[in-house]
Amino acid sequence: MPHTPVLLHTTVELLNVRPGGRYADATVGTGGHAEAILRICLPGGLLLGIDADPKALEVARQRLAPHGDAVTLVNDNFRHLETICRTNGFYPVDGILFDLGLSSLQLEDRDRGFSFMFDAPLDMRFSPTQKTTAATILNSYAEKDLAALLWDYGEERHSRLIARRIVSMRPVTSTRQLVEAIESIPGMTSGRIHPATRTFQALRIAVNRELDNLAEALQQTVRILAVGGRLAVISYHSLEDRLVKRFMQQESKACLCPPQVLSCTCHHIPTLRLITRKPITPPEDEIRRNPRSRSAKLRVAERI
């Protein structure tokens, strides 16, 4: 099943894509959003696509091949966004897009362990060059550290119970073993979502340092965006959205001093103007067509 880009038309519209512009897709994936951007920015426009996943990038390469030299693709993590843009002559850029969700390609790859729907090795790495896998974490972390990880990155309220059960069943090396460990805890199968959902989320975030990398990359965006250029971020869970919201709000303020400070001492200069005061979510018809879009939130800001 091909990956369906989330909030495609709304995202491209709010990025304010125009002919001749330069755009960086920091999570190009299989190229869905990138293809839509190219349709508008050509002729004369350029697109830089970045992805840590070489398999996804190869699909994007084939999909975007008809656009020839207008496309530059780089296999790297977006935490190096500024360096990648400057090295490839994409400075300044007129728009930057982050679509932080997993692609269907990743979820449906039975060898990578992103989904609890298939039995697979507990890998969960975006890039095969990374050393730490989900199995590494599950089988080496102390119980209290594993519980903290599940709470911090998965907001899993049963984090201590799950950590205790995992430690008691070590070694845990496959997705099926992990799911069975969680399901064996009394009361875990009575919720609205699958009981392993938050654990898988937490492990994936930890393996790929997703929140740390996102925080680093967001700070770089204001240095490479042209004045009037826009930043669009699609997030899929509250931890990501909270980080993006905090960054955009902070960069749109003229003062960051605590409320108790009577006179501004920070002298912060705002770099962004909020385009979306509240996050944009997919309409009901899109959610029906693409259920994976139901948790998506889009936030957009403009460089000033």
- Residue 1 banded pLDDT, cuts 50, 70, 90: very low
Q: Are 115 and 108 in contact (CB under 8 A)?
A: yes
Closest CA to 136 of 92, 84, 171: 171
Please, which residues have CB within 8 angstroms of residue 189's CB and are 6 or more apart in sequence?
A: 183, 195
Mean pLDDT, rounded, of the chain? 94
Question: Are the C-beta atoms of 122 and 174 separated by less than 8 Å?
Answer: yes
How many CB atoms lie under 10 A from the CB of residue 266?
A: 12
pLDDT of residue 78: 98
The residue written with tokens 């006179």 in the block is 263
Residue 67: CB partners within 8 Å, gap ≥ 6? Answer: 38, 42, 47
CA distance 304 to 298: 20
Which residues make beta-bridge pairs with 303? 272
pLDDT digits (tens, 9 = 90+) for 36-83: 999 999 999 999 999 999 999 999 999 999 999 999 999 999 999 999
Q: How far apart are CA 217 and CA 201, in angstroms?
A: 20
Q: What is the mean pLDDT of residues 281-300?
A: 94
Residues 6+ apart with CB under 8 A from 164: 143, 147
pLDDT in tens, 84-143: 999 999 999 999 999 998 888 888 888 899 999 999 999 999 999 999 999 999 999 999
Note the pLDDT tens digit of each residue in 177-211: 999 999 999 988 767 889 999 999 999 999 999 99
82, 119, 172 from 12: Cα distances, Å: 22, 37, 43
Per DSSP, the three-state class of 24 is strand
Give pLDDT, residue 292: 86
Q: How far apart are CA 80 and CA 70, in angstroms?
A: 21
- What the chain holds in terms of domains, given with CATH numbers, is 8-105+210-303 (3.40.50.150), 106-208 (1.10.150.170)
pLDDT given at position 2: 53
